[in-house]
Each structure stands twice: as structure tokens, then as C-alpha cells.
Structure 1
Amino acid sequence: MKSSHIALICIVMISLFALHECRDAGTVSKIARPSCIHTECTLYSLHQDCWCCNKLIDGYKSVCWREKDTPSAKDLCFAFCPKWISMELQVRLRQLIIFFFLFLTVLEHASCSRILRIAKPDRHDIAASARWLVSQNIWGVLSTLSIEHDGAPFGNVVSYSDGLPGKGKGVPYFYLTMLDPTTRNALKDSRASFAISESPIGTCKRDPMDPTCSKLTLTGKLLQLDEGSEEDKEAKKALFTKHPEMMDWPEGHEFSVFKLEIMNIFLINWYGGAKSITVDEYLRYKETKVASFL
């Protein structure tokens, strides 16, 4: 259960408890008192010949009085009456509960959002759009040629990183286990493609297939890095920074770092079909660090 849900439950329970206590404080046994001025009321004996009538009078749910109901006697008797909560206060308390509920709902949504390190580029800047998609995303679909199904395409959802936050180089790195068919496929035939969408980032409010919701497919070779090499160390640092959970994955599963050596780029970020961009243009692009909120 999320912390905001727990906080909301606590607020509601405390408010209801307070309301219950205010209503029940000082109540004693119900009796019949025909001589009460308000005979239709339910009577409660409170203090000698002081009575409390369970009826909304002067904005309060209960009012005390003596039999003769003189103003001074009524005021005196009110001091012995239970402290019933006014109807106005009940309404305000309910409004407060609703306000806290709405506030926590907004807070929960905000906590799920994140700050983008790099603002979404202008759609006309093709290289920037492609690099932005790669740097801001955290997962995609990695496809290889299956050795178990006669070379049929095999797509697999994988986490990745292209570098440290704000220092991405555009080359996707993956932390794959030898138990994964993707790994075995790549070691047999390195041809692969990697597809990502703007949709998971949260900046696209339309259907993922809408042309204004950017999508990118990188095609090339999925290559295993040499264990302990400089590139391997840098790749692990980038992966573990973006995906801390990876550090605790079982050593016995033989995880290893792979990278996609890009040979072709397919990008759609607006109407008009795929945009033209070379691998060199893509890799040479330098990111501009401009913070942006989702």
C-alpha cells in the first residue's frame, strides 16, 4: 500500500473518531419528560432539572434548558450540557477530509512523475529527437533472430542505459543473462534491432501509434563486451546508476554487458513518415541539459 493511501486512511479515521467523540461526550440515559417544552424531542437527563433536547436549535444539535426555559436558566444549564459538535463544524470537517483526499491524490500523481534532465527537443531537430528518446527512456523491445524457431524474430522487453544521467552517448547497453534466449540468439547471430517509444516517458498524451508520439528503432549488431574492459566498466556504471536493482541480480545467472552497434536508424516524431538521419549525425549530437517537468 502506498504511503499516501495510509496517510489518507489515518486522516479519515482520526476525523471520524473526533466526530464520534464530540457527539457522544456526556450523554446519559434517555428518559421520558412530558413537561418538556419541545415534547417531540428526545430527552436526556444532564444535571438536576437541566435537560438536553436532541434537536437542531440555534445552529447546535443539542440545547439545554430548565423547565421554565428562562434565558438565564438556559445559559446556566448550557454549561452542563454535553459539548455536541455544531452542524456547521460537521460540514467543515467533511470538507477538510475531502480536501486532504484531493491533495493526497495530486501528491501521489506528482510523486509518480519525474523531472526530465533534458527537455523535449524541437521536432525539426531530428538528431536531438532521436538522442532524447534514447537518453530519457529506461526500457525497450530488443529483437533478435531465434535459434530455436528457425530464425524467426524474437522480441524481448529489456532495460538499458546509454550512459550516465545527462551524459548519454546514444549507444544502448544491456545487462543480459546467459539464460535469456536473446543472449543465446545474439551469440549465434548478432543481427538485432531495438525499439523504444516516447509513451513510457510521459510526454506523449496520445496513442503510442500516433505519429506525434515519437518512436525509434535502432538496427545493428548486438555485441558482448569483454569482461573487465574499460567500456565494460563504464557501461556497468551507467546501467547500475539507472537500474540499481541490477547490482543484486544473481551472479550464478552469468550476467554480461552487451551493446548495440548501430547501423541504421528509423525515427518517426511527426506526420510525414520516417525522418532521415545517419548514424554519424546521431552519434555526433551533443545533449543540452535543460530540465523539464512532466
Structure 2
Amino acid sequence: MKFELFLLVLLCLLKFHVDCKWGPVREDWFASDTANEIETRRPQRYMADPPDHTKLIPMARYTLHNADWASIATVSVQPAIVGFPFSNVKSIADGYIANSTGIPYFYMSPLDFTAKDLAKNSRATVLVSLEETRYCESQKWDPEDPRCTRLMLTGIMKKVKEGTPEYTFAKGGLFERHPAMANFPPDHDWFVAKLKIAQIAMVDYFGGAKYISVKDYLAYNYTEIDTTLSGIKH
């Protein structure tokens, strides 16, 4: 305690900008300045503002491409909840950062809840939110606010055949977005999967859900990708 008081007096004499009121030494002297500095350095994850809410397909493609993870709903095979809906979080990419396909790709292990469910029933719904980009936060919108876009893709999950151009493309996009995947345990039999989309529903403004043509969604050229180079078949 004597040392702490001595240090406080010394700091005051040296004209440091600290609180010189007598009392217990504060551990948070510089906390506010540090917190502000960290907050200033915290990057925004979206490159540009999202499209206008009336532009449904650009908004859908923007929301998926700028999402790093998705909530994926499956039909459970866990003994205690067989047949119940079950949701899990999975890392996601729809191609390279510069090359968007609109197709959600996943890096999965057969040991995971989701992969076990899909092995029995391949139907799934994938949900991504504009909140992931922090844009909603910047607008002070709650994640449940209709203006904070929610995109729900429903379809059949399929394994991407290893060694194909699409496999190379999809795995490359996943590893670019999620570098930690390169260090995942090698004995977990990882594979690449994709969702073959059957329905696209989106909430991006007041007035209820909108439904988007899968064909038009996939045909939209979001990042000038040449799908013939990646061997992608929708």
C-alpha cells in the first residue's frame, strides 16, 4: 500500500494525466483510453453498404457473400430428440472473396451433429443475417428488425466430389475465408458440402417475407465470376 501511494504521488509530480485524488490505486486508470483505441481500430466487415431493400436478388447475394457463418437447421438423429429440428452453427463461404457463386459451401466432419443428421436426411435450411456484417449494428437496428436482412436457403445438402474443379474451388474459398481450417485435425475425415437450393426466402424490410427465384438468384453476376472456370453446376 505504501508503494502504491508513493507511485501515485510520483505520477502526479511528473504531471501524468491521472486521477490524483487520494484513495485506493485504480487498476482502470488507462482502461477508457485503451478501450476507445481498440474500438477505433475494430474494422467493419462489410466493404460497402448493402443494396436497397427493393433490389431483392442483389440483397440476397450480398447477405450470403458477406456472411462468415450460418445457422443450419436439420432433422435430428440424436437418440433423445429423433425427428426434432436441430440447429447448429457452421462456417461458410460461397466461393472466394472476389468470386461469389451464391452457393453455400461447408467444410464438415462426419463426427459433427449436422453431418450425422444429413447422412440420414439431407434436407436442410441455411440462415444468414446482415447483422454479421455489423451494418445493422451501425444503424442501431436489432437483429430481429425486419430491415436487418435475414436470408433463408432451403434445399438438399450434397457432398462435393473430391478432385473435381468445383471441389478445388469450394475448398479454396473456404480456406481463404477461414484460414484456421487448414489446421483442423486431419483424422476427422473432412469433406466439402454444398446446398442445392430449392427455395429462397428473405426478410429485408417491413411487409413480410419475399420469395426469390432460385434460377435468377444463381444467374445474378455478383462478383463477375466465370463459373465455367470453377466447374460449378447448379
The bucket for the TM-score relative to the shorter chain is 0.7 to 0.9
- Correspondent of 1:265 among 197, 200, 206: 200
Residue by residue over 1:69-103, the C-alpha shift from the partner in whole angstroms, topping out at 9 and shown as x without a partner, is xxxxxxxxxxxxxxxx6xxx56xx349xx9x7655
- Correspondent of 1:20 among 10, 19, 30: 10
Aligned-residue identity in percent? 33
Partner SS state of residue 170, structure 2: helix
Unaligned runs of 5+ in 2: 1-5, 20-27, 225-234
Which one scores higher on RCO, CA 8 angstroms, separation ≥ 6? 2
Pair 1:110–1:167, CA change in 2 (3 A) = farther
Q: State whether residues 147 and 188 of structure 1, in contact with CA within 8 Å, keep that contact through their aligned partners in structure 2.
A: yes
Q: Is 1:175 aligned to residue 107 of structure 2?
A: yes
Alignment of 1:191-202 (within 5 A): 191-202=123-134
Whole-Å separation in 2 of the counterparts to 1:201 and 1:215: 12
Whole-Å separation in 1 of the counterparts to 2:40 and 2:100: 26
Q: State whether residues 220 and 262 of structure 1, in contact with CA within 8 Å, keep that contact through their aligned partners in structure 2.
A: yes
Pair 1:22–1:105, CA change in 2 (3 A) = closer
Report the TM-score, using the length of structure 2 for normalisation.
0.79
State the partner residue of 1:65: none
Q: State whether residues 46 and 134 of structure 2, in contact with CA within 8 Å, keep that contact through their aligned partners in structure 1.
A: no
Pair 1:118–1:165, CA change in 2 (3 A) = farther
RMSD: 2.5
Return the index of the structure with the highest Cα Rg.
1
Pair 1:144–1:21, CA change in 2 (3 A) = closer
Whole-Å separation in 1 of the counterparts to 2:132 and 2:190: 26
Q: Is 1:147 aligned to residue 77 of structure 2?
A: yes
Q: Is 1:213 aligned to residue 145 of structure 2?
A: no
State the partner residue of 1:240: 175
Q: State whether residues 186 and 222 of structure 1, in contact with CA within 8 Å, keep that contact through their aligned partners in structure 2.
A: yes
Q: State whether residues 118 and 288 of structure 1, in contact with CA within 8 Å, keep that contact through their aligned partners in structure 2.
A: no
Q: State whether residues 220 and 264 of structure 1, in contact with CA within 8 Å, keep that contact through their aligned partners in structure 2.
A: yes
Q: How many residues align?
A: 206
Whole-Å separation in 2 of the counterparts to 1:156 and 1:110: 32
1:190 to partner: Cα distance: 1.1
Q: State whether residues 51 and 59 of structure 2, in contact with CA within 8 Å, keep that contact through their aligned partners in structure 1.
A: yes
Residue by residue over 1:211-269, the C-alpha shift from the partner in whole angstroms, topping out at 9 and shown as x without a partner, is 11110110000101112221111111000000000110011111111000111011000
1:178 to partner: Cα distance: 0.7
1:18 to partner: Cα distance: 9.4
State the partner residue of 1:114: 44
Q: State whether residues 148 and 205 of structure 2, in contact with CA within 8 Å, keep that contact through their aligned partners in structure 1.
A: yes
Q: Is 1:129 aligned to residue 64 of structure 2?
A: no
1:194 to partner: Cα distance: 0.4
Q: State whether residues 190 and 223 of structure 1, in contact with CA within 8 Å, keep that contact through their aligned partners in structure 2.
A: yes
Whole-Å separation in 1 of the counterparts to 2:210 and 2:87: 24
Unaligned runs of 5+ in 1: 1-15, 24-84, 290-294
Moved more, 177-186 or 243-252: 177-186
Pair 1:20–1:261, CA change in 2 (3 A) = same
Q: Match of 1:119, as an amino acid?
A: D
State the partner residue of 1:26: none
Partner SS state of residue 210, structure 2: coil
- Correspondent of 2:68 among 115, 138, 141: 138
Whole-Å separation in 2 of the counterparts to 1:189 and 1:266: 21
Q: Is 1:162 aligned to residue 152 of structure 2?
A: no
- Correspondent of 2:212 among 266, 270, 277: 277
Whole-Å separation in 1 of the counterparts to 2:185 and 2:18: 51
Report the TM-score, using the length of structure 1 for normalisation.
0.64
State the partner residue of 1:185: 117
Q: State whether residues 100 and 223 of structure 2, in contact with CA within 8 Å, keep that contact through their aligned partners in structure 1.
A: no
1:147 to partner: Cα distance: 2.6
Q: Is 1:203 aligned to residue 138 of structure 2?
A: no
